Copies of this chain bind each other. A is one copy, B any other.
Amino acid sequence: MTLNKILIISGTHGNEINPVWAANQFIKQPNTKDNNIEYKFVIGNPLACEKGCRYIDRDLNRSFGLIKNNLNSSIYEINRANFLVQKFGAQGSEPCEIAIDLHTTTSNMGTSIVMYGRRRKDFCLAALLQHKFGLPIYLHEKDKKETGFLVEAWPSGLVIEIGSVAQNFYDLNIINRFLIIINSLRDEINMLKNNEIQLPKDLTVHVHQGSIDYPRAKNGNINALIHPERINKDWKPIKKGDPLFIDMEGKTTSYMGEDSIWPVFIGEVAYKEKNIAMSYTKKEVITLSNKIFKEFSN
């Protein structure tokens, strides 16, 4: 793949406002050496951004599996997904080879990378960032309930997920973290194209295994909350007997699996409606062949 254009998407969720600010601030920076790679910037869901809500009709970042059969949908996000792919997709009018989708979470994930499936090019991009910053990587795969992610519609792409930060709350620390990532990604890709980069052979990823819902009453209402011992403990292992939830009477629900799990998106506000209190992963070490780093070289 010849790498000419990279698409940076912010505001895929309209209430995640710090990436939008960071992207606008990045654009204002004086040009630096960019190795002939053009960066395109787009707001994923402008109407939701205007209204300060996650989405209008349905989650845009779960709508990219539906676009082929819905060319003239009445659903705003399906039309928007179509528009983004028709304009910036690999066969689009301004084709981009990589999509970087910038997100925030109310969970204490820190600065992290989310990958969807095991594409060689994605491993390469993730390795660049993990090598530089040691960022944790969440590899999402094999979950039939959660599909149609934006970056899957491009030949290669990652989500940068930073938290914790509240929805609709401007936080300069979070904005600065996005700027560091965007700037570094540009620098690293330049070095990669110039064969100036050496990467380790191994990549540690947290592989999605499933999700755990809140305990709920018969009417569907949540009736126990994330246990204080779990709050803010994303990426920290949970072992048998560790408490997960606590109800109004102080009764706890504990994890009873035999194997340790590594939780992510603990208490993410937007996932309550998806019946997800947290997702859980297992650690896996991926061995990278040197060949994959040539994916992006000319």
Q: Which of A213-237 contact B (CB under 8 A)?
A: 222, 225-226, 228, 231
Question: Taking A225-B172, A228-B172, A246-B172 as contacts, is the C-beta distance between A166 and B106 under 8 angstroms?
Answer: yes
* Number of copies of this protein chain within its complex: 2
B170 touches A267 (CB 8 A): yes
| A172 in contact with B231 given A21-B225, A167-B166 (CB within 8 Å) | yes
Per the 8 Å Cβ criterion, residues 1-45 of A in contact with B are 21, 24-25, 28
Q: Which of A159-187 contact B (CB under 8 A)?
A: 166-173, 175
Please, which residue of chain B has its CB at the minimum distance from the CB of A214? B170
Residues B170 and A168 in contact, CB atoms below 8 Å apart: no
Q: Which of B167, B222, B272 contacts A167 (CB 8 A)?
A: B167
- Using Cβ atoms and an 8 Å threshold, which residues of chain B touch A170? 222, 225-226, 267
Q: Which interface class (under 10, 10 to 19, 20 to 34, 35 or more) fits A?
A: 20 to 34
Q: Is the CB of A169 within 8 A of B172?
A: no
When distances are taken between beta carbons in the complex, the residues of chain B under 8 Å from A249 are 28
Q: In the complex, which residues of chain B have a beta carbon less than 8 angstroms from the beta carbon of A53?
A: 53
Q: Specify the chain B residue showing the minimal Cβ separation from A18.
A: B225
B residues near A273, Cβ cutoff 8 Å? 52
Q: What is the bound-complex CA distance between A24 and B171, given in angstroms? A: 32
C-alpha spacing A167/B228, complex, angstroms: 18
Considering the complex, give the chain B residue whose CB is closest to the CB of A248: B25
Instruction: Check: A269 CB closer than 8 A to any chain B CB.
Output: yes
Find the B residue at minimum CB distance from A165.
Answer: B166
* Alpha-carbon gap, A8 to B284, bound state (A): 51
- Closest Cβ neighbor of A277 among chain B residues: B170
Contact residue among B167, B173, B228 (Cβ-Cβ distance under 8 Å from A168): B167
Q: How many angstroms from the CA of A106 to the CA of B165 in the assembled complex?
A: 10
Contact of A248 among B28, B173, B272 (CB under 8 A): B28
Complex-state Cα separation, A66 to B172, whole angstroms = 39
Nearest CB of B to A205, in Å: 28
A225 contacts across to B, CB distance below 8 A: 21, 170, 172, 175
A168, B269: Cβ atoms under 8 Å?
yes
Taking the closest CB of chain B, its distance from the CB of A217, in whole angstroms, is 11
In the complex, the 8 A-B pairs of residues with the closest C-beta atoms, listed nearest first: A166-B166, A25-B248, A168-B269, A170-B225, A169-B269, A106-B166, A172-B228, A106-B169
7 CB contacts below 8 A, A to B, read A21-B225, A106-B169, A166-B166, A169-B269, A170-B222, A172-B226, A172-B246
Q: Which A residues are closer than 8 A to B by beta carbons?
A: 21, 24-25, 28, 52-53, 106, 166-173, 175, 222, 225-226, 228, 231, 246, 248-249, 267, 269, 272-273
